[in-house]
Chain A
């Protein structure tokens, strides 16, 4: 842990000399600056990706404002309190997921939204992105670590229930993110390496089962991923076109608003899941690496916060949230650049859309809350 603190001496110095407003607001200036930088960059790309739509940028700005507000509120929450109410939150979340399956609304054959009168429409699965790691951390925090096998099994069940419910909607991307967030907690609880390896082997063996459990459209995505040319005008179109967009961007890109792939509609979903292709086309390798560096710094900051945290619950939660953020980035960029199958995972803090921004900022808010309540060294 000492090593981790040494990684960011600047941060420590700054915090010591800071005016105290950050401490009072319980915000972490490093994370805040980084995510504002990512958001600004994202808005620039979004403007281009949405076809130079000022309306889209304004709407996104409002969402960012709401999300930031949400983050500040979450930051104020004492996690000890949350810990106490965790079982209730988990059960409540599960009930909401069941409600989605029974009464949910949605489009394109997926049922993801819940419309409760008096409340804005929302996706319970987004809430579960926070609830699942919280629950697992809550469960394992009060048990011996490294966890016993029985506890691991219970944890797995706690994760599997919401994951299956969400996969049933179907929403492969979200269930993948939630599943990994739960598993990360187990990993950080100190699960023995032999179990980790065994799980990996088992997971690989279960792939055929997973295949059989997939919906036809999900299977199609995998087939398309493995061989995009098999259907160049249909399902393969997205991957082929996004690879062309990225590749033709070269080192320094075609210039802002100059991307032909995105502006001539060859590229699909230019403002949502495939926005990184717009970035890569218009700002080139330099632009993508700049964004990746920002993400990398966020991850480093997240790991440092995890390293500073004293309470096991905080530690596990911080590390898990950080790695989940990492999965977001990797799955999105991996899918757009054609190394992973297409699953609907947005690029964090850049893709157009309110829900994922709110959840992501909430998780960053949790990180800040953890950091604000870390043991003070004097």
Chain B
């Protein structure tokens, strides 16, 4: 060994060996340090890091319940759900994070068209308070091509995902929106009022109509699932799942055939048709025209389209059936007659000579009848059949405001009696007090005259007029007016069955002499079938009898001594045509109100439509009967 050779060499060797020992010491110390660090991380901090690791990969996700379906009375689907593929971005996961949004949008634009509106709404949603790492929708309802384009290029877009979602779909769309309402994306204001937990996965809420009223039944209860995701937020597997409770299905009284018929009849017109089943109070059809597509509101209507709807002079967004306040005109005459005879203020055989006008005082203002020259001697029956205004000027002059108001209220005017259409309005049933407050004037005899022919301050919605027709048809018997027939196959007779507040409903109308109903009915049948009945052309050639009353509401005040020429007046100033009625005359199955704005007279504009509705109803009932025809298929 060389260590024995020289002292210096031996010194050097000793020194080198001591350096080796020092190195060994260093190695042992540092390795111990590393082990200590690992012990600290893996034993001491184990629980902490296991939690962190689970938090990384596991996410508790809310699972939206499936919204309940809406069926018509025969089980036809009115509102369903369909898969919609939404393009979403998780801003936190974009390259460059939230700051990289613009770059990511620009990249995406090369693959899929995203319009400025989408981007604007996306940014608004992104900047709303929201859970970090939650996807923000950019575009809804992607089509097949777009889905393919994005999927193929997925690798280029970290943080971009296509998320399927079940959204509301209205297979019959336009004709039904005013009856059903629609769902739309939850907005800030709604978000504040909704149960945050139950709606944590829900993006839509009922905005209008039945969808809004039965929101709590339709929505269901939220479910939860724990999912394992990778670092890019992609769900790899579901670890644990609590199924959501699906929403309840609604069955409405609405009849698809009647509703479609109504919508078709109103095509190209402005107006409304409301049909009610007199036996139940269920709404068979509720149409308002012009209408609009409900499906576009589900996925988010574009600003331009919405502006167009909102700015349209024809007010397509306006639900005339529930909110249109029209002078009921002559359609109130049967009730005014009843008010007169039942209150005892007018004799049952009361009659007048009609010269074609009525004057409160000798030489005073002329209250004209619609027929120049008058109807001659007029009793109550004739006054209804031929719709003689002067008769009503006379009896309302005698009665004054009070009995008319009382009896109109018994038939549902001036109040909301439809139970499950939150947008319904009560219109105006003017009392003396109402006039004092609203107009700061006392009730004049002339006000009574106008009210007697359904004009002046009096107004009613088509739904109210259909209700009035129902109560007349039922000889005073009331039912709750409602859309709902059953929830999850449980019949609903009143909305209080499902925990809602029933609207105040007038008591059944009982007349002092019940035979008076027959008088009114007889007159209203003659309106449709009598030789001089105003609706005789619509009542002709039918296999069943019907009862009704036409009405023509003046839009423009007619000057004294001037004659009225509809053709010369601008379309917007033409009369509204109205009609109420039911069929068959005995044991009715449909009560109806029809209003055609600026359509001219009720007998020409509204009554023919009602007749078609009657026919459709009779046919619809017929076809539901178990006949032999069905069996041979």
**Chain A: residues with CB nearer than 8 A to chain B?**
1, 3-4, 145-146, 187-188, 190, 233, 241, 243-251, 260-261, 264-266, 280, 284-285, 288-289, 292, 296, 299-300, 303, 306-307, 310, 312, 315-316, 319, 322-323, 326, 330, 333-334, 337, 339, 375, 377
Contact = CB atoms under 8 A, between A and B. Distances in A.
B49 A330 contact: no
Contacts of A188: 16, 19-20
Contacts of A300: 24
Nearest to A309: B16
A378 to B, nearest CB: 11
A265 B233 CA distance: 10
Contact of B34 (A284, A337, A377): A337
Contacts of A1: 3, 13, 17
Report which residue of B31, B41, B56 has the largest number of chain A beta carbons within 10 angstroms of its beta carbon: B41
A339 B97 CA distance: 28
A249 B42 contact: yes
Given A299-B27, A303-B24, A145 B12 contact: yes
10 A-B pairs with least C-beta separation: A247-B49, A248-B53, A265-B231, A264-B230, A247-B41, A248-B49, A285-B42, A266-B231, A244-B52, A248-B50
A377 B248 CA distance: 94
Contacts, number: 130
- Where chain A touches its partner, the secondary structure class is helix
Interface core residue of B50, B52, B97, B228 (most chain A CB under 10 Å):
B52
B12 A190 contact: yes
A310 B10 CA distance: 11
B17 A307 contact: yes
Contacts of B13: 1
Contact of A146 (B15, B27, B33, B52): B15
Nearest to A243: B41
5 contacts: A3-B17, A190-B16, A280-B41, A319-B23, A337-B34
B118 interface: no
Given A187-B19, A188-B19, A247 B48 contact: yes
Interface of B: 1-3, 12-13, 15-17, 19-21, 23-24, 27, 30-31, 33-35, 37-39, 41-43, 45-46, 48-50, 52-53, 56-57, 92, 97, 228-232, 236
A145 B230 CA distance: 58
A243 B42 contact: no
Given A190-B12, A250-B42, 13 more contacts: A3-B17, A188-B19, A246-B42, A246-B49, A266-B231, A285-B42, A299-B27, A307-B17, A307-B20, A315-B16, A323-B23, A339-B33, A377-B1
A250 B43 contact: yes
A292 B35 contact: yes
Interface core residue of A145, A245, A246, A247 (most chain B CB under 10 Å)? A247
B19 A319 contact: yes
Contacts of B15: 145-146, 190
Contacts of B45: 247
Contacts of A312: 12
A261 B230 contact: no
B42 A260 contact: no
Contact of A319 (B20, B41, B92): B20
B104 to A, nearest CB: 15
B122 to A, nearest CB: 21
A260 B17 contact: no
Nearest to B230: A264
A375 B1 contact: yes
Given A1-B13, A292-B34, A303-B20, A246 B231 contact: no
A244 B57 CA distance: 12
A307 B24 CA distance: 12
B359 to A, nearest CB: 87
Contacts of B231: 264-266
A291 B45 CA distance: 21
Contacts of B27: 296, 299, 326
A330 B30 CA distance: 8
